[in-house]
Amino acid sequence: MATQSTTHQQYIDELLLLGQLLGTETAIFHHAVASKLGLGVTDIKTLSILLHEGSMTAGRLGHRLSLTTGAVTNIINRLARRNFVRRTVDAHDKRQVTVEANTQATMQIDKIYHSVGDAFGSIFRDYSTAELHLLANFHEKAIEALKQETSKLQ
C-alpha cells in the first residue's frame, strides 16, 4: 500500500496493478451474476450495452462486442427467448432489425446489481466532492481508453 514516501512512479505502478486486480474481480463478479441468471457473461454485457447505450442493430451490437454476426445472433436469440430483449423492424428499411432491452424483464438483474451498487456507494461516501470528481474523471478517461484499445484489436 502507498505511503507518504511513495514516489510518483510507484503510485503509477501500484495503480496499474490494482487496475488489473479490479478487472479480474469484476470479471469474476459478472460471471457469478450471469451464472445465477442462467446466462453467459457476454449475454449480461450485451444487456448492459443496450441499457446504457440504447437500442442498436445487430451489426452495430456485434461491432461493439467484437463478435461475429453468428455469435451476436445466438446471443440475441437467447436473450429474446428469456424476454430480455426485443427485435423491432426499422420502419424505413424493413431489412434492418434493431435490438432493444426489455427494461421490465431486466429489473430482476437490477436487483442483483443493487447490492454491489450499495457496497460501492458506501465506499464513495468516504470521499470528498473533489475526490469524487477526480474518480469520475478517471473512470471516464479509463472507459474511453479501453474502448480505443479494444478498437485496435478489431
pLDDT in tens, 121-147: 999 999 999 999 999 999 999 999 999
Which residues make beta-bridge pairs with 87?
99
Where helices occur in the chain by DSSP H, the ranges are 8-37, 41-53, 58-65, 69-81, 107-124, 129-153
50 in Cβ contact with 100 (< 8 Å): yes
| Cell (9 digits) for 55 | 437500442
Contact 70, 84 (CB under 8 A): no
Which distant-in-sequence residues (6+ apart) come within 8 Å of 40 by Cβ? 34, 75, 78
Q: What is the pLDDT of residue 3?
A: 63
- pLDDT, averaged across the chain: 92
Distance CA 74, CA 78 (A): 6
User: How far apart are the C-alpha atoms of 12 and 23, rounded to whole Å?
Assistant: 16
Mean pLDDT in residue range 79-100: 90
pLDDT of residue 148 exceeding 90: yes
